[in-house]
Chains A and B, each alone.
Chain A
């Protein structure tokens, strides 16, 4: 049963550390507690989105560089 993880902050969501770099996680990847899933940029300051639960990343709800609101679905995790 997939669980939906929400964005902890409002801002711009990034799936990689910089343009051209590989994505932190792709759909189907295993996720361990403490893994970085992406970054959220809030007013030019970057905060990592860190997994608090382990599982398999089933799907992203937002694309790279999309605007996100706090509480918006970010990704689905299969425990």
Chain B
């Protein structure tokens, strides 16, 4: 397919990432901008910008009609959805294709199939991928839920079939709790997603979050090894690594091979990630869901494999076959990523939009900073708080963490608090250094280890 010009239907640091990859492929870039984003870094870097609506995302970046229209009017022939926003919206992907444009991602049907967790689970089982013990499909009512929960074993997790990002999830320790929580969860899911469908699965308390990166061309798929993202707060990833140091090589190969089986079974096209829970006591892993898009933490995989994932997904969308063979992809060293957010870790992670009065960026060997920041930029309050991702790569995990800490020490963002001090504390923590963590570790650690307020810095007051 003759792709010459890409419309970037996203914002922030991932828009910058896509522009860079597209430009290296000789492609023109047109950046979608809301009324609040005219001066963002991606808008400055793109060949052209196209307005898509007001500041509020539902009226701009989430407005399917407006985005498709803007892409057509800008003369683009492909759309990159980034992550979040419309990236996993099958209807949007369909509209893009119906308009005669290339959607840089999987087929709409694959997005729909893997976005429905019950269907994704069935596909996983059919591919021989272990899944968490749970219900097959949506649970009709509370009476059925009670029977199923008894079979699965408490504690059980109640999840919205249409949910995501940790929303709509509740844990019931016994039948009494299930009786209270099940109707609540159903009502909430209907309000939030327009679909009250729920399913149940075993709640695994002390698990690690491990995910496998795949690339597919619609026929053949390869894995690019795994990432560990166990350090989370409110089910949002905070710090990610590649590879997962807790796996034996045997476990790694079994896990990654299972991901390739599922990707090939669904004829996966583009870059995707299969998320798993890993029980490091029993060595069991369970597939939980597939994200049918590029992920925030993709750079750690790029650093340890040397594969440019965003470039690869664009080339696949342009109709090329997968250039990589599995045996070409080898792990080299270890990479760690710290998400730098506009939040104050000394004040319960209060959001901190504002103007960047001064900026010093880290650099040097093995350091990468994917960011939306520039000096003088005003971070708007309307979107996600992610400012950038600081990535360090080195021969070993210990060396990568030391390098990350060194780079964090060089980063200065004046004018607004960021989560960088949290990452410096984590980089010095014995449990983090030992890799002895699980998905609830960080929240427990934050309660036990409150960060002291930083010495007064020039932070303009934003609240009355």
A interface list, Cβ under 8 A from B = 6, 8-12, 18, 41-45, 65-67, 70
Contact = CB atoms under 8 A, between A and B. Distances in A.
Nearest to A45: B351
Interface stretch (B252-260, B327-335, B379-387): B379-387
A66 B35 CA distance: 12
Interface stretch (B51-59, B150-158, B215-223): B51-59
Contact of A43 (B35, B54, B59, B351): B351
Given A8-B463, A9-B462, 4 more contacts: A12-B55, A18-B191, A45-B350, A70-B464
A43 B463 contact: no
Interface size class of B (residues with CB under 8 A): 20 to 34
B181 interface: no
A39 to B, nearest CB: 13
A12 B380 CA distance: 10
Contacts, number: 50
Interface in B297-354: 342-343, 350-351, 353
A35 B147 CA distance: 44
B281 to A, nearest CB: 34
Contacts of B351: 42-45
25 contacts: A6-B464, A9-B381, A9-B463, A10-B353, A10-B380, A10-B462, A11-B353, A11-B381, A12-B56, A18-B191, A42-B381, A43-B343, A43-B351, A43-B382, A43-B383, A43-B385, A44-B383, A44-B385, A45-B350, A45-B351, A66-B56, A67-B35, A67-B36, A67-B56, A70-B463
Contacts of B384: 43-44
Contact of B382 (A6, A18, A67): A67
Contacts of A8: 463-464
Interface string B450-464: 000000000000111
Interface in B104-142: none
Nearest to A68: B381
A41 B384 CA distance: 11
B54 A67 contact: yes
Nearest to B350: A45
A50 to B, nearest CB: 11
Residue of B351, B381, B385, B463 with most chain A CB atoms under a 10 A cut-off: B381
Nearest to B56: A65
A6 B464 CA distance: 9
A67 B59 CA distance: 12
A43 B353 contact: yes
A65 B59 contact: yes
B463 to A, nearest CB: 5
A21 to B, nearest CB: 9
A12 B383 CA distance: 10
Contact of B462 (A12, A18, A65, A70): A70
Contacts of B54: 67
B331 to A, nearest CB: 35
A2 B191 CA distance: 37
Nearest to A69: B381
A66 to B, nearest CB: 8
B464 A11 contact: no
Contacts of B383: 43-44
B85 to A, nearest CB: 13
A6 B58 CA distance: 25
A44 B59 CA distance: 16
Nearest to B341: A43
A41 B383 CA distance: 9
Contacts of B59: 65
B381 A43 contact: yes
A12 B382 contact: yes
Contact of A67 (B55, B350, B463): B55
Contact of B381 (A6, A10, A65): A10
Interface string B50-82: 000011101100000000000000000000000
A69 B351 CA distance: 14
A59 to B, nearest CB: 20
The 10 tightest CB contacts between A and B, nearest first, are A43-B351, A67-B55, A8-B464, A43-B385, A10-B381, A11-B381, A42-B351, A42-B381, A65-B56, A45-B351
Contacts of B191: 18
Contact of B353 (A6, A18, A42, A65): A42
Nearest to A7: B464
A10 B351 CA distance: 11
Contacts of A43: 342-343, 351, 353, 381-385
Residue of B351, B353, B383 with most chain A CB atoms under a 10 A cut-off: B351
A64 to B, nearest CB: 10
A23 B381 CA distance: 23
A6 B463 CA distance: 11
Contacts of B385: 43-44
A12 B353 CA distance: 13
A40 to B, nearest CB: 8
A70 B384 CA distance: 18
